[in-house]
Each structure stands twice: as C-alpha cells, then as structure tokens.
Structure 1
C-alpha cells in the first residue's frame, strides 16, 4: 500500500470512528434502561406500575435509530402494553418498527418542510395532547428536526415557510438565524410541543447538531421555552431578504402583539443532551492516537464560511508539513462544526454541499504546492451533505493528479458551488449512506511522515 493510500485509509477510519461514537442507537441505549418493572431515563427512574401510557414522539435525521433503540430498551411486553409513538424522519430512514411509527416527513436530501411533515406534526400534536397526568412522554430530538416538524402559525402557510427557509439558506443565514425565524412562525417550535403536551412528565433525549448545544436552537427548541421575539425574527428576514418577505409572514410578525404565551411547564419537562460534536471529535482523536498520529484538535465550535475554512485547513497542514519543529511523527488536525456556503449566482447546473465545497476550496489552495503527504477530509456525520448522496469528500495527491489528468478546472467548479460534479470525476466522494445520527460535521487533516 502506498503512502498516499495509507494516509487516505487512516483519514477515512478516523472520520468513521467519530461517526460511530455518536450512533443514535448506542446513545439511546446508554440513556434508557428498563427491566420490565422500572424504567430509567437519563438517571430518572419510574415505577412502570404507576405509569399509564408511554408516548414516544420526535423528529430528526437520527430519529429512526433513536426510536429503534427505545423499542430495544423497553422490550416487547412494555411496548405492547403501554407504548404509542410517532417520529418524523427523512424518507430514506423509514423502516418498520414494532410500535413506534416512523413517518417520512420529507424526501431524502431535501432539508425543507413539506406537506407530509405537516401531517406528521399534526399527529404528534394529537398524541401529546391526548396524554394525562399519569402518562410519560419521551421526545427524540436530533439534527434536521426543524424541517421535519413544520406547523405554521396562521395566516402563514406551508408554502410561505418553504420559501422563507429556502431563501434564508441560499442567502447564507446561520442555523441560529434560521431557527429564530422558524420558531416565531411555528406552533410547535420554541417550546410549542411541550406546551401542547398533557403528560405528567416529558423527557427529551437530544442529539445536538448546533455549536455549543443551545437547547433553544436544536431542532428550533420544541421542548424548550422560546427566547426570541417577533421583532428579532423580522430583523433577520429583512437582513437577508430585504423587501421580498411574503405578505402573510410580514402581517404576522408586524401586527401581532407580543402577548405572553401560555406558561411553559418547567416542572414537567426535562431536556438531556445525549450526544454532540465534541463526542465525535474526541472519538476521532482517540482513533488517530491509536494509529500513531499526534493530534491537534481545534474543537467543535468551528463555523465560518466553507471556502475560508477549507483554505485554513490546508494552510495549517501545509505549515505542519513544511515546519516539522516539535513534530517528530505524523500529525492529525481535527475540527468540528458547521460552516455556511455562499451560493453564487449562475444558470449552470450544479450540485454539492458544504463539506464538498470546503474540501474543494482546500484543493484549490493546495494546487500550486501539491498535496504530497497531506489528506484533507470533511464529512457530515449524518451521511448527508447538501442535496447529494455523499457525506462529504477528501482530497489527496491522487485526487489532485486525477483532476489534472482530466483537465478539470477546480476553481471553475468551486466558483459555482459544483463540488460534487468535480469529485464525481476526480474521485474523493465519501458515500456512507444515512448514519442515523447528526452532530454537525467532522474534518480531518493528516500530515504524513517526511
């Protein structure tokens, strides 16, 4: 095996170790224990003889794995006697479970609210609204939950929300800004699900896909009180869309008085983070160390713009390659987070995602010096990078040579956000399929021995 192949193999294995550490099934199994008589959820114990119904609801890219793990933990007897459930997931994550219904809330690779998502959310609201004081509600929340839990506030329509989401994403709005707007236009986000629930106890198990794990922003905070206002949401819309705000949205945010909403049921609701990007970065670091790399971790709080992040990852690796002072062996640079992509105006066909864009930007920056002894990799832990079937991409000397041999102009592909097409020709796409988890992105930069 050549040095290039060895580095590439290590980079992919390190990334995979990070993903495996936040597999939704294992995270839930670690949090939920049941022996048929008592149920423990994140350390909170319930005598099942005193619990009426157990409702399991939720939404997100990790929803299928989380729901399956809940069923495994509870066991068939408890499931058949007490459990009802409904979880909205992407269409490619739907499978048959014993009791909990997995509902296709949106197509695969299209992170926007749909009519199917609305129908699923209405069923979730019906279930939680039917519960009583003796019942328990488990909520499974993970990345992608915002688009999978649409329930527009009148007079706003689903079409309005779809257009707003699409425009904000294309304009480069951050996930925090997107969620602030979504909450003010939704009946379920910003604590709406908790307020609609009539169970005596609600416990939300959360896999975080947001930097810093803020409970009010993950999936737009369906089980956490809303701290945003209509005025703040309107300011975000004006920042990115100017005067192109749908009339019904403008009417809702401008004319509605900031009245006090129904009191949030703080005494009945518990939110628990069971997995996040830091868990993935730490596991990747352990794998890299085990493979003989010195690890430099940049942590999980890396946002920024994809092109700039890609250039910075290359520059850090180039510096380590050229200046070996203090580094006697191979080095692994790790970082987690979620950058944004500024979409260029073009009438040409294009396809890509933020991870592919980031890596292609790194390749463009590295083209003059070459990628000798360096691999750059970036992938979404959910296995889904933009509207594509790739989790992300990697580049090394082989990919760069393949691009040159085929006459591919990397800068041209980068300029119109067509990274997928570039890597489809040159090689380097990471196709893991759905991972049933989501804790943002994981980046790996490897610098081999001299």
Structure 2
C-alpha cells in the first residue's frame, strides 16, 4: 500500500510540454455535463458505429484493417436491441452486394422508432433484410426462437464463397434462443432461472446457458463454416468480453459437460433437471470437437465497434471543447452503489482540497478500488492528475468513468442505479463548498432509461442536501425505499433529472465528476 501511495506523490505522469489551459466557458456546470453525456451517447448510436466501422471501396469493404471482396455474396444476420439501426446503416453501405438478411429485434421496436421520429434507423421499404420481432419484456419467447431458427437455417446454407456479416448488441442473448433438442425453450428458461435464484455468478450462468444452446458459445459461427464470418459488436458488458456479449455466438467456447454438471451440483439443482437437459448433458467431453480447418483459415473476425470506452473518449473530446481537462478513470466501475458513491465522494474531496489532501483519503480510495472495479494504477494516475490540477491552476477538470454498479433493493420505490448513485454522491458531497457551482456529478444510462422510469439518471452537487432540506425532503428515507426517481421529481420540479429520450443504444452507464478551479491557499 505504501509503495502504491508513493506513486502519485512522485513526478507527474504526464509531460508538461505543450500543455494549454482549457478556455473558460460561461455555461453552467450542469449544462456542460448534459452536453458531455449527449456526446457520449451520440458516439455509440447504432448507425454511427456501423458507419465508422465499415469502409466501402468499389468492390470491397475494409473492417478493422481487414479487406473483404464483395461479389454479390454478402448475407446478414443480427440480434439485439440496437441491431435494427445497425442493419439499416449496413444495408445503405453495402447496397446490392447484400443478398439476404434476417434480424431478431425487440417486440414493437419498429413502431416505437416511428413514434419517436427515428426513421433513419428503420429499413427501407424494399429491404432485403427480414425483420423478426420477439423477446417481449426482454425474455426469450416463441417469436425469438422462430427468428433464431431462421437465422440458423440461413447460415447453415452458406458456402466458402459467401461472406456473413453478423450484427450483435445488448439483449442479443434473449433474441437468439435455440435450445439443443429435445430441450424446450421453457425447460432451458427454468434451469437458468433456478440457477440465478440460487445465487450463481454471471460466469456460471453463461457456462450453463451456452451448454444448452445450439447457437451460443460459437455455435452460429460453427453453422456458417466454411463461409467468412465478420461480427460487428456493440458491447454492453464491462471489459467487452466477446464470449459474454449475447453469450458469444461467433466466439468459440468449448463447453465441457462435466464443468456444467459441476455448476449445477454446486447449487443442488441436479436432481430437479428436466429429463431432456440430463439427456443433452449426459455424454462426457466438449459439445463439439476442435475444427482445425476452421481455426486455421481464420474464418471469423470479431470487432467491437461500440463500447463504454468509446463513449468516454468522445465525452472527453466534448469536455475539452467546453473548457475542461478530461481525465478518464475507468470504463468498468462496478460493485455496490454505496461503495461507488463513496469512491466519487473521496475523489471530489481529494480534488477540491485547498491544501495537500490528507493521506487517509488516498489510502481509503486504494482500499475501495478492488471493490468497485478500479485498478490501483488507475486511481494513482487519477490522483496524480487531480493533484496537478489543484497545484498548477489547470482550471476545470472533468473526471469520466463508466460501468454498471448494482443496487441492493430494500424498498419498492421507483428509480434505477444511476439516480440512486447520483443521490448518494450528493450526500457524499455535503459540506464541500467550492464556488461558484461545483463540484457537479452526473450518472446516466446510455440506453436512455434508468429502471422503470423515463429518466436515464440525474445530476447532483454539494448543495443537494440543503436544497432537499429546504423543500422538506428526507434523502435517507428515499434511499431506504429505493425511491430516487420520486425524490428527484419532487426536488425543484425535477430539474436535476436526466431525460434524453429514446437513445437506441446501450454501452452501460456514464459517470462524470466535474471539478471547478480550486482557489489555492498561499502560505
């Protein structure tokens, strides 16, 4: 610990050469935070990420540095909440080289996009792509299974002369249910539901889910062999692990039945398994053997084209334009929302200290790091930069992060993790008076929705507690009932809520801690 603490006291991590103070901006911190959030979301719009990923030449396309020849040989499949917009843009780019396509998208999404004026994310009338809606309430259903069957049929008919473009986004797992016969969709759902209820980790759930599916865990790519497969992925998972996003249909993941049975035994579910599941898991060894020809030819390219990191980079560019020095903490903040709020409260106190902050703050931050998914190195780097901002008069700083914290439900109120995080950070900032209106904290979901509300999150600052008290609102009571949305709706007529509307994308959450210039105490 002492060795790590010493790192941020040493020479600055960044060279001073070429540094310029950001220009001052007269807009409020609140307004600039909203503009940065909008830039983050815009950067990962489904049509934007596809347009930036596919470089069209006359008779070829370049994707992630790889060239693919077009000979009216391209087929397209996709599954996920953002895939309709991705497919519309892909078809505009690919033109008549696209032979046929099938996409599995959420129930009623086409009508929803029309109602919100998002026509640019809809397919044209004479599209060669078939749209199949399903997974009502984000659960696999018969409609989604039918779409998965048609996708499987299309891919299994491809030859070595074909190119398959696969579009994947969050929600893709529920939209591509294809249980291995004789397992039924209901039986597979029951097994995973019981496993989740028993407290299984997401890794364990994915292990079991893949073992019971014919398309997940590389199954789709297996069906498409020997065609060339290119997957464009919009990630909604921390760290962008390819085998986790939509359960990795184009990422080879050899499933050993012994491992799956071990997970089920750990949670005492073996005796309650349906006969069909026991039948599928009964044979030892992996679900399929190594396909040496497939691996040698490298017939699959997986490219993450949209992620939380990309959103933060674009938010950082906007921050600089608005007069801030951007600092990215981490794109994988996770863990209990109470610990995460404590992290941001400590960072604010560290940055806003008029003198050298006490070492206890840095020590507590480093202890918190492992619990909230932030590496010690990233915390030290961030403290170093925040310290420079305080001692060298850098002006305003925008600390950016992302991820997906969790909330322990203790009540039946309305709201989501972003609104609760903002509310808890507001409490952490209590008494931290920095003129004229900072620090300011924003937490927002890039999918435009935070829990069962029309808000994506909220904005808070050091004055939140006094403002709530003056309006007769007891913050702790609202937190006890997980009722953050009601709190922010009642506080100053909901002015602190973040309501961007339908975003048509999702790369988890974006957090922003805006630090104003700190007056230095001269001894």
TM over 0.5: yes
Matched with 1:106 is 135
User: Could you say if the C-alpha distance between residues 29 and 158 of structure 1 is closer, same or farther in structure 2, counting changes exceeding 3 Å?
Assistant: same
For residues 10-45 of structure 1, what are the alpha-carbon distances to aligned partners after superposition, in whole Å with 9 as ceiling and x for unaligned?
111112212222222122112224455334444433
User: Could you say if the C-alpha distance between residues 198 and 380 of structure 1 is closer, same or farther in structure 2, counting changes exceeding 3 Å?
Assistant: same
CA distance in 1, matches of 2:406, 2:280: 26
Q: Give the number of aligned pairs.
A: 436
Matched with 2:423 is 360
Instruction: State which of 469, 475, 484 in structure 2 corresponds to 1:419.
Output: 484
CA distance in 1, matches of 2:465, 2:279: 51
Matched with 1:334 is 400
- Partner-residue secondary structure (3-state), 1:202: strand
User: Could you say if the C-alpha distance between residues 47 and 369 of structure 1 is closer, same or farther in structure 2, counting changes exceeding 3 Å?
Assistant: closer
Residue 283 of structure 1 pairs with residue 314 of structure 2: yes
Query: Contact (CA 8 Å) 1:289, 1:295: kept in 2 or not?
Result: yes
Q: CA deviation at 1:324?
A: 6.2
Matched with 2:508 is 440
TM norm structure 2 = 0.73
Instruction: State which of 73, 82, 93 in structure 2 corresponds to 1:62.
Output: 82
Q: CA deviation at 1:144?
A: 2.2
Instruction: State which of 190, 194, 211 in structure 1 corresponds to 2:217.
Output: 190
Matched with 2:409 is 343
Q: CA deviation at 1:402?
A: 5.4
Query: Contact (CA 8 Å) 1:195, 1:262: kept in 2 or not?
Result: no
User: Could you say if the C-alpha distance between residues 36 and 353 of structure 1 is closer, same or farther in structure 2, counting changes exceeding 3 Å?
Assistant: same
Query: Contact (CA 8 Å) 1:4, 1:397: kept in 2 or not?
Result: no
Q: CA deviation at 1:389?
A: 3.4
CA distance in 1, matches of 2:425, 2:197: 22
CA distance in 2, matches of 1:251, 1:441: 39
Query: Contact (CA 8 Å) 2:88, 2:123: kept in 1 or not?
Result: no
CA distance in 2, matches of 1:27, 1:12: 21
For residues 156-187 of structure 1, what are the alpha-carbon distances to aligned partners after superposition, in whole Å with 9 as ceiling and x for unaligned?
44334445656666787665444333222322
Greater Cα shift, 186-195 or 400-409 = 400-409
Q: CA deviation at 1:375?
A: 1.8
CA distance in 2, matches of 1:409, 1:181: 44
CA distance in 1, matches of 2:407, 2:430: 21
Matched with 1:84 is 100
User: Could you say if the C-alpha distance between residues 401 and 230 of structure 1 is closer, same or farther in structure 2, counting changes exceeding 3 Å?
Assistant: farther
The 5 A counterparts of 1:209-220 are 209-220=236-247
User: Could you say if the C-alpha distance between residues 10 and 41 of structure 1 is closer, same or farther in structure 2, counting changes exceeding 3 Å?
Assistant: same
Query: Contact (CA 8 Å) 1:403, 1:425: kept in 2 or not?
Result: no
Q: CA deviation at 1:300?
A: 1.5
The 5 A counterparts of 1:359-438 are 359-367=422-430, 373-396=438-461, 400=465, 403-426=468-491, 427=494, 428-438=496-506
The 5 A counterparts of 1:238-249 are 247-248=273-274
Q: Provide structure 2 residue ranges, at least 5 long, that are not aligned to the other structure.
A: 1-24, 111-121, 357-387, 519-523
TM norm structure 1 = 0.84
Greater Cα shift, 361-370 or 304-313 = 361-370
User: Could you say if the C-alpha distance between residues 159 and 341 of structure 1 is closer, same or farther in structure 2, counting changes exceeding 3 Å?
Assistant: farther
CA distance in 1, matches of 2:58, 2:305: 23
Query: Contact (CA 8 Å) 2:257, 2:282: kept in 1 or not?
Result: no
CA distance in 1, matches of 2:340, 2:53: 35
CA distance in 1, matches of 2:337, 2:190: 24
Greater Cα shift, 217-226 or 373-382 = 373-382
Query: Contact (CA 8 Å) 1:8, 1:396: kept in 2 or not?
Result: no
Matched with 1:6 is 28
Q: CA deviation at 1:139?
A: 0.2
- Partner-residue secondary structure (3-state), 1:298: strand
Greater Cα shift, 117-126 or 420-429 = 420-429
CA distance in 1, matches of 2:341, 2:108: 30
Query: Contact (CA 8 Å) 1:192, 1:222: kept in 2 or not?
Result: yes
Matched with 2:232 is 205
- Partner-residue secondary structure (3-state), 2:51: helix
User: Could you say if the C-alpha distance between residues 253 and 133 of structure 1 is closer, same or farther in structure 2, counting changes exceeding 3 Å?
Assistant: closer
CA distance in 1, matches of 2:161, 2:439: 59
Greater Cα shift, 10-19 or 245-254 = 245-254
Q: Provide structure 1 residue ranges, at least 5 long, that are not aligned to the other structure.
A: none
- Partner-residue secondary structure (3-state), 1:301: strand
- Partner-residue secondary structure (3-state), 1:146: coil
Query: Contact (CA 8 Å) 2:211, 2:287: kept in 1 or not?
Result: no
The 5 A counterparts of 1:41-60 are 41-49=63-71, 51-52=72-73, 54-60=74-80
CA distance in 2, matches of 1:69, 1:324: 52
User: Could you say if the C-alpha distance between residues 341 and 170 of structure 1 is closer, same or farther in structure 2, counting changes exceeding 3 Å?
Assistant: farther
Q: CA deviation at 1:337?
A: 1.9
Query: Contact (CA 8 Å) 1:151, 1:187: kept in 2 or not?
Result: yes
- Partner-residue secondary structure (3-state), 2:330: coil
- Structure with greater Cα Rg: 2
